[in-house]
């Protein structure tokens, strides 16, 4: 069964959700990141997806205290992204307790560094954040468009042992109108040795059931949980059956 990975996006230490990556269209939620992580852990979730949106904009981790608190107190594994731009920032994220690091901008703009990190830290700890808008990879907190396709970017790192890819369809992110099923089906067919995580557009459990049906291994769910389109009970039942 597909693994549900709840998302916690952070600005100034608080849980937020954006729409289509637009910082001007953010919504702030009352629960703290730690409170949300503990709720998910109680539902049987073993991994959460955390994004430092301040870090993504400033190209350096800005919410490491939040990461350290969640990692030390929640009991869940954390895949962390946002602002990891050099060796020092990558080390700081791992030292704060992240299980895996999500690398987007560096992988697109400085692929040699991401290749090196894959060899140093191993493919189990490094996730490629391949985020696409209108067919092209976007970086720097989704504000900078590149001329790079998803397929080109993924292809660069296969010989380096790339294993995990988190792929977000930015045009669907936060809209809760359904994910791009065709996108993930095509990627899985082309790159059969890669484990893909779907992200963006999840509107309810039927979307997750369809992703599961077509064989997507993992899915990130954010706004649909906060807006109660997917309940904690839904997650609990799914986790128990997984």
Question: Distance (Å, rounded) from C-alpha 142 to C-alpha 20?
Answer: 9
Mean pLDDT for 57-74 is 95
pTM beyond 0.75: the answer is yes
Which domain does 84 fall in, by range?
3-241
- Going by their DSSP bridges, the two strands 144-145 and 136-139 should be labelled as antiparallel
Token pair in block for residue 10: 């952070």
- The pLDDT confidence band at residue 212, using thresholds 50, 70 and 90, is very high
Mean pLDDT for 11-39 is 79
Write down the mean pLDDT value for the chain: 91
Mean pLDDT for 3-28 is 80
The residues carrying an active-site annotation are 9, 131
Q: Is the pLDDT at 23 greater than 70, yes or no?
A: no
- The pLDDT confidence band at residue 143, using thresholds 50, 70 and 90, is low
The CA radius of gyration of the chain, in Å to the nearest whole number, is 16
- Mean pLDDT is lowest, of 4-8, 176-180, 189-193, for 176-180
Mean pLDDT for 69-82 is 96
| Burial of residue 18, with CB atoms counted within 10 A of its CB: 0-12 exposed, 13-18 middle, 19 or more buried | buried
The CATH number assigned to the domain holding 52 equals 3.20.20.70
- The pLDDT confidence band at residue 174, using thresholds 50, 70 and 90, is low
Beta pairing partners, 220: 5, 199
Count of the separate structural domains present in the chain: 1
């Amino acid at each position: 069964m597909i693994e549900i990975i709840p998302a916690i996006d952070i600005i100034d230490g608080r849980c937020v959700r954006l729409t289509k990556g637009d910082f001007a269209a953010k919504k702030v939620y009352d629960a703290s990141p730690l409170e949300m992580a503990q709720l998910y852990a109680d539902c049987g979730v073993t991994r959460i997806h955390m994004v430092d949106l301040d870090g993504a904009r400033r190209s350096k981790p800005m919410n490491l205290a939040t990461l350290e608190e969640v990692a030390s107190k929640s009991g869940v594994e954390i895949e962390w992204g946002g602002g990891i731009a050099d060796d020092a920032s990558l080390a700081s994220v791992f030292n704060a307790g992240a299980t895996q690091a999500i690398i987007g901008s560096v992988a697109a703009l400085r692929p040699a560094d991401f290749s090196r990190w894959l060899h140093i830290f191993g493919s189990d700890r490094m996730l490629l954040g391949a985020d696409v808008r209108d067919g092209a990879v976007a970086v720097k907190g989704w504000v900078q468009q590149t001329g790079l396709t998803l397929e080109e970017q993924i292809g660069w790192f296969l010989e380096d042992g790339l294993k995990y890819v988190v792929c977000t369809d930015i045009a669907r992110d936060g809209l809760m109108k359904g994910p791009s099923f065709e996108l993930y089906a095509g990627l899985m067919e082309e790159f059969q040795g890669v484990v893909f995580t779907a992200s963006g557009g999840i509107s309810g459990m039927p979307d997750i059931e369809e992703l599961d049906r077509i064989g997507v291994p993992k899915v990130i769910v954010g706004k649909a949980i906060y807006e109660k389109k997917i309940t904690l009970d839904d997650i609990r039942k799914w986790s128990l059956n997984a």
